[in-house]
Chain A
Amino acid sequence: DSGVTQTPKHLITATGQRVTLRCSPRSGDLSVYWYQQSLDQGLQFLIQYYNGEERAKGNILERFSAQQFPDLHSELNLSSLELGDSALYFCASSVAKVGYNEQFFGPGTRLTVL
């Protein structure tokens, strides 16, 4: 158990819909990362938040957005869903301090778009 929790574990929805994935980081970790794992694209970095502020952006679609709340949990919002958005979405957290960058991954949310 990494200490990172993600809900829900599974999500099945239809094209055009909007969903929200939730992540709670390990206690004390200020940084949250979102990754997408799909058969086509492999494991890709989407976005990073540090203490409530967006820190880095990867290949995140405009239809996707994220935020980190004052209690440090994070949500990834996916809208206007397409079949190709079906994937496993991981959240990771780290202390993100100088000289140290170990990311701990949650169990993931499997999104199926029908």
Chain B
Amino acid sequence: AQSVTQLGSHVSVSEGALVLLRCNYSSSVPPYLFWYVQYPNQGLQLLLKYTTGATLVKGINGFEAEFKKSETSFHLTKPSAHMSDAAEYFCAVSPFNFGNEKLTFGTGTRLTIIP
């Protein structure tokens, strides 16, 4: 079974400050890892994904995440927060095998940007 834990249901940062959203996963098989963003009254948009290869992955809107197997973590960062980053962020995991691609989501982190 796979699971995801997102530390902090609410995070507030000042505009221009570093954004750090934490995600830890549990998986008995090598995982695929994802970060999705959900703006109010909208669907989920993929920010970035880790499948294999380079452990530091870059996504859209200046976000990046680093896969650390030893820490079972996949934290999301952005060097400088922008007002438009205010949204809910979900970390997700899926198995690394064809035929079972369901996403297991964390409980989400609501990011607030302080002007």
Residues of A at the B interface (CB closer than 8 Å) are 2, 4, 31, 33, 35, 42-45, 48, 55-56, 58, 90, 92, 94, 96-108
Is the pair B102, A45 in contact by a Cβ cutoff of 8 Å?
A: yes
Complex CA distance for A64 and B42, rounded to whole angstroms: 24
Is the pair B102, A48 in contact by a Cβ cutoff of 8 Å?
A: yes
Complex CA distance for A92 and B44, rounded to whole angstroms: 9
A58: chain B residues within 8 A (beta carbon): 102
Supply 7 further A-B pairs (C-beta < 8 A) apart from A56-B101, A90-B43, A103-B101.
A48-B102, A55-B99, A56-B102, A99-B51, A99-B52, A104-B46, A107-B42
**B39-65: which have CB < 8 Å to A?**
42-46, 49, 51-52
B98: chain A residues within 8 A (beta carbon): 96-99
Residues of B at the A interface (CB closer than 8 Å) are 32, 34, 36, 42-46, 49, 51-52, 90, 94, 98-108
A96: chain B residues within 8 A (beta carbon): 98, 101
- Which of A42, A90, A97, A101 counts the most chain B CB atoms within 10 A? A101
Chain A to chain B: the 10 pairs with minimum beta-carbon distance, closest first: A43-B105, A105-B44, A105-B43, A45-B102, A101-B101, A107-B43, A98-B98, A42-B107, A108-B43, A56-B102
